[in-house]
Amino acid sequence: MYLKSLTLKGFKSFASATTLNFEPGITAVVGPNGSGKSNVVDAIAWVLGEQGAKALRGGKMEDVIFAGTASRPPLGRAEVTLTINNADGALPIDYNEVAITRRMFAGGASEYELNGSTCRLLDIQELLSDSGIGREMHVIVGQGQLDAVLSARPEDRRAFIEEAAGVLKHRKRKEKALRKLDAMQANLTRLGDLTSELRRQLKPLGKQAEVARRAVTVQSELREARLRLLADDLVTLQTQVEKETADEQQAKEHRNRIAAELEAATNAEATAQRELSAAAPAMQEAQDTWFALSALAERLRSTLNLAQERARSLTAQGGEVPRSGRDPEDLDAAAEAAEIEQEEKEEAVENARAELAEAVSERSETEAMHKAAERELLAATAAIADRREGLAKLTGQASSVRSRLTAIGEETNRLSLALGDAHARADQADAQFETLQESVGELGEFEVGLDEAHEEAAAASDSAAARVAELTEAGRESRARQAALQARVDALALGLNRRDGSAVLLAQSSRMPGLLGSVATVLTVSAGAEAALASALGAISDAVAVVGVAEAAAALALLRQSQSGRAGLLVGGGPPLVDRLTWPQLPVDATWAIDLVQAPQVVLSALTKALDRVAVTADVASAQKLVEQLPEVRAVSRDGDLLGSDWAVGGSAGKQSVLELQAALDSAAAELADVTAKISSIDAALSGARAEAELRARDAAAALAALGESDAQMSAVGEELGRLAEISRSAAAEAERLVNQRETAEHSRVAQEEVLAELELRLGAAESDETPASIDTSVRDELADAVAVKRQAEMEWRLTLRTAEERARATTGAAEGLRRQAKAERESRVRAEAARIRRAASAAVANKVAFLADQSGQHLSASLDIAHLAREESTAARAAAELRAQSSRSRLMELSSAWEKLTTEVHRDEVLRAQQSVRIEQLVEKITDEFALTVEDLIAEYGPHVPVPASAAEMAEYEAARAAGESVTAPQPMAYEREAQQRNVKRGERDLALLGKVNPLALEEFSALEERHAFLATQLEDLKDTRRDLLTVVGEVDGKILEVFTSAYHDVAREFVTVFATLFPGGEGELVLTNPDDMLTTGIEVHARPPGKKVKRLSLLSGGERSLTAVAILVAIFRARPSPFYIMDEVEAALDETNLNRLVGLLTELRDSSQLIIITHQKFTMESADALYGVSMRGDGITQVISQRIRGRDAEAAVQLQV
């Protein structure tokens, strides 16, 4: 058995299908780091069932799927197929080749296949376990696993030996048996509990059967008693339903009558509401008209004030035009004088310039002659030296000077051009400066007008705002007064509310045409006499006024019919019963009470009767005096003390009378109406004032914006003037700098020309053959003195020219400036005159506006009076309509309340009847469901009219007595008594309660329970037998595991000693059991001592020693219990050449019994291999494989290159 091939599809770096064909022997897989060699080992471990992502060098299991590169997208699944040659039948399956396939999708799902058929992971593990391949995967040694072998726990090292020895299948058999035992134990416990429970239930069932027989008799008597009670309840409910149905019919008839009256009242209320709705638009229109006219009047008043103020302001500013500047004629004369002076200065400049030119010419000629003599002298002096120095040097110096002269000429031309440009910029800036300066005066005059307009607009806006604030404050105070008066009116109205029969009569006033209202409301009492009249009238002041006796009788009948209490009535319409001519003459300080009150004519006679010979005095003393003088007169003080010859009433002040309250209410209501009208006037005026204030505020804002814009223009002009002046100054400075540079260049040019002339003279002298005999310097000295004199003369003329130019420049433009000033002064005077004319015209317009506003205000005042009258009339009409609508609504609410009350009663009766019907239905349903009887049968057999037969107990006693030979009379039926039947029910329920829960099927249940108990007892014995058999199997498996492991351990321990001695010549190594007494669970310790060292602790070994020790353990297991194949991933990476040779020697020994696949970088390992696989990675991150067989064929490459 060996691995025949490995196919990878989408596994890690193997993006495309790649197949590796293996043969028996040693196969080395080589390649650079990161090329994907270890992915081959991961693929074999993965397809054999590895479940740990870390063991596959990943974070999660989905990391095995190709993740994609820059040139190739990721894949959705990974698939690996491992083909095993099973010709020797090592695997317990009837196939010569076994193909194991594992497939994983991106969603995390996995599939396993065995020879193309879907299977489970468990099936693959069981198939491989007999070949020494288990979940420990000791046949696959990956990177870093060597150290894990040493650092593993002793119990984990035991698992490697068990896996190699094939113990896994025995352990699985044991684990399966133990799981069955655990499940069986739960069943045994459950069966034991059920058996015990059944045994406990058998005994009480016998007692329950006896109770069931006793319960039958009690239930029969209880049923009859309940049926008789139900029949009685049913008959009673049916009787009540019949009675309530008749009552409900009467209530419905009464409700129908109220409904008819309600419909009539609804129509009346709708009519009144329509009248009210019709009156509302007229009142609103009159209100809007008055409001609009009031606002317009306010605006006219504000306009009049503003026009008058503006007219006064403009008139105050009128008069002669102020003249602040110089006279334009004087300025023109000064300009002409300045122009003449400028011409004289310029003529002086030209004269000085001509003299300077002549001086320069003379100085130049003298200097030329001096320089020529100097050159001749120098030439003669240097001729001999020049001959020695040679012509070449002189020629070079002359060329150099000529070059410098050319450069100086170019620089002079450039400076001349720049100087012209600077003069042009200065002239342009000066011209723009003069043009812009002319506009400054115009802007200044315009800004003065804007300042005046802004001040006027701001003053008008402030005045309008002050008017708004004044009206707002007045409105606030009036509204506060209105709220206080409204609260007082409400409080007084609340004090006038009646709680006796008078309130009922007043509420029915709309239905009783002859009812005038309360006496307090129909009377008008003089101010200050309220208390006196209230005391004089007494109970009449609380009465209700009616027009006649018939109406009084109808009112009393209404109160009696509605049970609304009692009420006093002042009956009018009668003839005069009192002749005032018979009344005596009163003193001056007394007044008849009837003269202090005003009342409708219809009740005046009755009122006069009530106040017959009643006089009002200032105080009690005056009243006493009056009664003593006129005994037939009753006197009442203004404080309410009534005094007569036969009756007196008074004392300290108590609560206010109805008349006082009504008078206070009328006064407060009148004041409230005045305040409300005042608020309306203030609101109208405030609306106009706000509109005017908004208009004036917009005008002020516009004037301020215009002024700001003018300031911005002035600022911009100032900035532009500054910029132009700076440009002119900078251009002049640049021109002066360029002049200096040009003069410097000119001087340099002259000097270089002199040098060039000297060099040419020297060059000519050097080229001639003549040699001067002697040198004469007198001519040169004379010319030098002449040059000094000429230079002094030139300097003096230059100073003269500079002075003249400065004087001419100082007065340049003075004449033009004076002419511009004269022009500006003339324009300023023209503008001032125009402004004066405009102010005069504006003052005339303002006066005209004031006149028109005054006239319009007078006309508007008349219109406002008319609108106020229309507003009052429409308000009164709407108030009358509101009163009628209120009366109609009151009647409608009264009838609605009565109708709702009757409807509620009818509904309550219907609900009660429905509830009783439901109760009857529930009783019928209960009778039918519980007792299976119809209503007719129930009433016929158990109704209240049916006699009650003797009970079973009475019949039993009778039968017993008769059987005993006693002379007894048979029990007779008795008349129905509800209390007796209720006692029978309670007795039967008590007996049933004493019997407890009754099981009528107790005998049947007892028999079934006995049969079930016998069955469960048999099943329990069977489970106990099965448990004993499973324990026997576990013992046999433990014995087999002990035998196989013991043998494998001793073989591995023996091989470890040999292998360790091979890898460490002179060293000692052994395997030791941690618990030799328990071979089923003992772990394995490793003791290793390399040669030359005394330590045996594995943690003290070097890296290479630890690797060799771990390899020794694995090789010992391989040799003791060989497996068909082994895969090793760079296990020799940390070994030197000597140890590598020893390890390769051991691996070569395994070649004959097992197949080895080694991932390596070591050349010696490659040389010992039978076949090579080269693994590399392309630039796109995908692994490719190349194979080469080394032994058994010629060195001819068979290459597989798959991408």
Positions at the binding site for ATP: 32-39
Take residue 853 and report the two structure tokens written for it: 């506003």
Q: What is the 3-state secondary structure (H, E, C) of 793-847?
A: HHHHHHHHHHHHHHHHHHCCCHHHHHHHHHHHHHHHHHHHHHHHHHHHHHHHHHH
Written as one string, the DSSP assignment of 1018-1072 is HHHHHHHHHHHHHHHHHHHHHHHHHHHHHHHHHHHHHHHHHHHHHHSTT-EEEEE
Largest CA distance in the chain: 215
How many Cβ atoms are within 10 Å of 692's Cβ, its own excluded? Answer: 26
For CA atoms 313, 315, 319, 321, the dihedral sign is positive
Here the contacts of 870-874 (C-beta below 8 Å, separation 24 or greater) are 870/286, 870/289, 870/290, 871/283, 871/286, 871/287, 871/289, 871/290, 873/286, 874/279, 874/282, 874/283, 874/285, 874/286, 874/287
What is the CA angle 146-151-152, rounded to 5?
95
Which secondary-structure segment (H or E) carries 57? none
44 within 8 A of 102, measured Cβ to Cβ: no
Q: Which of 983, 945, 920 lies closest to 226, judged by CA?
A: 983
766 within 8 A of 386, measured Cβ to Cβ: yes
351 in helix, strand or coil? helix
User: 25 Cβ partners below 8 Å, 6+ apart?
Assistant: 1151, 1155, 1156, 1169, 1170, 1171, 1191
Take residue 1140 and report the two structure tokens written for it: 């590598």
Q: Which of 408, 995, 516 lies closest to 750, judged by CA?
A: 408
Take residue 94 and report the two structure tokens written for it: 């009837």
Return d(Cα 564, Cα 499) in angstroms, integer.
10
1200 in helix, strand or coil? coil
Take residue 769 and report the two structure tokens written for it: 């053959």
Take residue 157 and report the two structure tokens written for it: 């090292």
Residue in this structure with the two tokens 């698939």, named with its chain if needed:
79
User: 293 Cβ partners below 8 Å, 6+ apart?
Assistant: 684, 860, 863, 864, 867
Q: What is the 3-state secondary structure (H, E, C) of 1125-1165?
A: EEEEECCCCCCCHHHHHHHHHHHHHHHHCCEEEEECCCHHH
Binding-site residues, in ranges, read 32-39
Q: What is the 3-state secondary structure (H, E, C) of 657-678?
A: CHHHHHHHHHHHHHHHHHHHHH
Return d(Cα 637, Cα 1028) in angstroms, integer.
128
* HSE-up of residue 1169 (Cα within 13 Å, Cβ side): 25
Residue in this structure with the two tokens 């050319």, named with its chain if needed:
406
227 within 8 A of 933, measured Cβ to Cβ: yes
User: 1116 Cβ partners below 8 Å, 6+ apart?
Assistant: 1052, 1053, 1055, 1056, 1058, 1059, 1060
In angstroms, how far is the first alpha carbon of the chain from the final one?
Answer: 30
User: 690 Cβ partners below 8 Å, 6+ apart?
Assistant: 468
**Strands 1155-1159 and 1125-1129, sheet pairing:** parallel
